[in-house]
Amino acid sequence: MSGTAPRTRPAATRDALVEAAFALFLEQGFERTTVDEIAARAGIGRRSFFRYFPSKEDVVFPDHERSLDDLRAALDEPGAEPGEEDPVARACAATLVVARMYAAQPDRSLLRYRLTRQVPALRSRELTVVGRYERALAEYLRRSFGGRPDGRLRADVVAASAVAAHNNALRSWLRAGATGDAVAEVDRALDLVRTAWGTGQGAGQAPEQDYVVLVARRGAPLPRVVRDLEAVLGERE
């Protein structure tokens, strides 16, 4: 007996529509495929199609709403105590939700990539979807950096950087035929964001600064002052 829960009928119908649509897009192209043909291939009526997807374009991006919900949940889930977690690290980890979604179905992801390169309407829809991911990251980071004078700017720049790193690595994976470990490639790109912007500090805190104050006698030879300073710094290492 399988331990996998059976899909509900709406979920099964939705999946059937997605499978039918991608099969038809592969066979005859996006522009030549009609909603009627997708519905017929899935074994439902035209009106039923629109209960699941507002348009033919939407069926190309069937998993993004769920991925966006998963990303927000990853940002909001309980973690370290306030003041102990690096919000940049959490934002980057949450971004991997999207990479995992693409990696789970490489053939579909590859076809989607090719379609968005060929069909301007789909490219515009993709940019809208990407913008929603970026806004979700920025909203979380704005809350996290709320105690900084540059908090809003920093949040927006980090969110844009994370999305750019993710998309660059994902496109490289797709251009290579969706082979290899997409999640690892994206995580490697996100390391640049963590290195550039991560502080290891808690939300809204600036990195702790370390200062050394050296008192020297007026007229002391400069070489001696330098030696004394080097000695003090050496003790602190």
**Where residue 18 sits, what CATH number does that domain have?**
1.10.10.60
Question: Is there a single domain that holds both residue 51 and residue 104?
Answer: no
State pLDDT tens for residues 16-46: 999 999 999 989 999 999 999 999 999 999 9
- The verdict on residue 208 lying in a domain is no
Asked if residue 73 and residue 30 are part of one domain, the reply reads: no
Dmax (CA) of the chain: 94
Domain that holds residue 189: 61-197
- Sign of the dihedral through C-alpha 120, 126, 130, 133: positive
Long-range contacts of the stretch 187-192 (C-beta < 8 A, 24+): 187/92, 187/96, 187/99, 189/165, 190/92, 190/95, 190/96, 190/162, 190/165, 190/166, 192/165
Which phi-psi region, left, alpha or beta, contains residue 4 (left: φ > 0; alpha: ψ -120 to 50)?
beta
CA-to-CA distance for 52 and 68, rounded, in angstroms? 18
**Angstrom distances, CA of residue 37 to CA of 28, 42, 49, 54, 196:** 11, 9, 11, 16, 49
What average pLDDT does the chain have?
Answer: 85
Do 5 and 113 sit in the same domain of this protein?
A: no
Q: Domain of 67: which CATH number?
A: 1.10.357.10
Total domains in the fold of the chain: 2
- Tell me the pTM: 0.74
Q: Which range among 90-99, 112-121, 127-136, 206-215 shows the weakest confidence by mean pLDDT?
A: 206-215
pLDDT tens-place string over residues 132-185: 999 999 999 999 998 889 999 999 999 999 999 999 999 999 999 999 999 999
